């Protein structure tokens, strides 16, 4: 019988099962103990595993990441939580110059099995300092692996993979997806890092999207299907390393590619995806790679402005239609 869990419950179950399986796994972060975290992602874990394995920390992101780096190098498998993705900037030295580089600096003799979890994305009217999508910053750093699941099944499997990984990973939980429900097996399982998911097969155009935008893209594909347009939707799931092979194979098949992300367009990860497609599938393209993303502005607080700011089904559908109308269609 199938079982449905919310995105937040899938995260919690992955952490619980990995803590059950490995006594070296522990959690640390602001208010993750009795309170269970600002979004309830760690609910019940301190009661089950105790205060030494689910640790409430001071309000200091740099200290939280520093604790995680030190514990990981010492042989533990810490999960450290940064409430909002925006706040990783406070700890960027620890993430970029310590966590990401220690294995390299020690010639591979040291491992850093550290999982950083954080809430990203807009849609909650949380304004410019609590709504950003900063994955492109993280993906630019050699040594980090960056994960951004779009559904409960992938959340559980990817979180388990992050915890078992011997290199530092960043798990981005999209805040608007926390209540999303989907089928999730009860037994532990792993979704391999670096493996994209073909959400929907199609022949006329490829859409590459991650996080909440993967679901918006799937809805756009369904909308266009009713008009006789066949759209393939690819969710990379892991942004670093990126599954370029799956994206390229799809470009070979459909000859048109649209990349969608919630971050600002300029310098966003969509530019890297477009460059990869151009390098590996240029001769197959019948139109330039299109990008759908946010404007170059902080995320607005106003609900009406934020809705206008974030990509949605209509903007994605329009970009796909535009790609199909280019010469060669």
CA angle at 66 for the pair 62 and 68, rounded to the nearest 5°: 125
Question: String of b and e for 25-34 (b: at least 16 CB within 10 Å)?
Answer: bbbbbbebbe
The rounded distance, in Å, linking the Cα atoms of 54 and 41 is: 12
Rounded to whole angstroms, the Cα distance separating 204 from 228 reads 10
Active site residue 130: yes
Helix and strand element counts for the chain (H, E)? 12, 14
- Backbone torsion region of residue 198, taken as left when φ is above 0, otherwise alpha when ψ lies between -120 and 50, otherwise beta: beta
The answer for 40, left when phi > 0, alpha when psi is -120 to 50, beta otherwise, is: left
| Longest pairwise C-alpha distance within the chain | 63
The residue from 130, 148, 174, 261 that is catalytic is 130
C-alpha distance across the termini of the chain, in Å:
45
* Residue 76 vs residues 12, 27, 72, 73, 108: alpha-carbon distances, Å: 19, 11, 5, 7, 17
3-state class of 41 per DSSP? coil
Q: Which tokens go with 302?
A: 């106003």
Buried b (16+ CB within 10 A) or exposed e, 186-220: eeeebbebbebbebbebebbbbbbbbbbbbbbbeb
* Strand duo 231-235 + 197-200: pairing: antiparallel
**Could you give the residue numbers annotated as active site?**
130
């Amino acid at each position: 019988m199938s079982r449905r869990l919310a995105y937040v419950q899938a995260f919690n179950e992955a952490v619980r099962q990995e803590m059950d399986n490995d006594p070296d796994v522990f959690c640390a972060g602001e208010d993750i103990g009795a309170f269970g975290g600002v979004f309830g992602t760690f609910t019940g874990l301190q009661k089950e595993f105790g205060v030494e394995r689910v640790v409430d920390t001071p309000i200091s992101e740099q200290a939280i990441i520093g604790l995680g780096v030190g514990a990981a190098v010492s042989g533990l498998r810490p999960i450290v939580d940064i409430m909002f993705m925006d706040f990783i900037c406070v700890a960027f030295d620890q993430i970029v110059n310590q966590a990401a580089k220690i294995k390299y600096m020690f010639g591979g003799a040291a491992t850093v099995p550290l999982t950083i979890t954080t809430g990203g994305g807009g849609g909650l009217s949380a304004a410019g300092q609590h709504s950003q999508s900063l994955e492109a910053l993280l993906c630019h750093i050699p040594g980090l692996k960056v994960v951004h699941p779009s559904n409960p099944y992938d959340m559980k499997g990817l979180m388990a993979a992050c915890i078992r990984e011997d290199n530092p990973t960043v798990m981005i939980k999209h805040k608007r997806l926390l209540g999303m429900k989907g089928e999730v097996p009860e037994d532990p399982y792993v979704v391999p890092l670096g493996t994209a998911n073909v959400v929907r097969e199609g022949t006329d155009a490829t859409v590459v999207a991650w996080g909440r935008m993967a679901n918006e893209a799937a809805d756009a594909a369904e909308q266009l299907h009713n008009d006789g347009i066949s759209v393939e939707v690819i969710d990379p799931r892991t942004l670093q390393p990126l599954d370029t092979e799956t994206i390229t194979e799809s470009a070979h098949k459909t000859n048109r590619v649209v990349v969608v992300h919630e971050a600002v367009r300029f310098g966003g990860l969509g530019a890297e995806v477009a460059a990869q497609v151009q390098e590996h599938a240029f001769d197959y393209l019948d139109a330039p790679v299109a990008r759908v993303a946010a404007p170059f502005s902080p995320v607005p607080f106003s609900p009406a402005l934020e809705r206008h700011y974030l990509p949605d089904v209509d903007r994605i559908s329009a970009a796909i239609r535009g790609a199909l109308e280019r010469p060669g269609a």
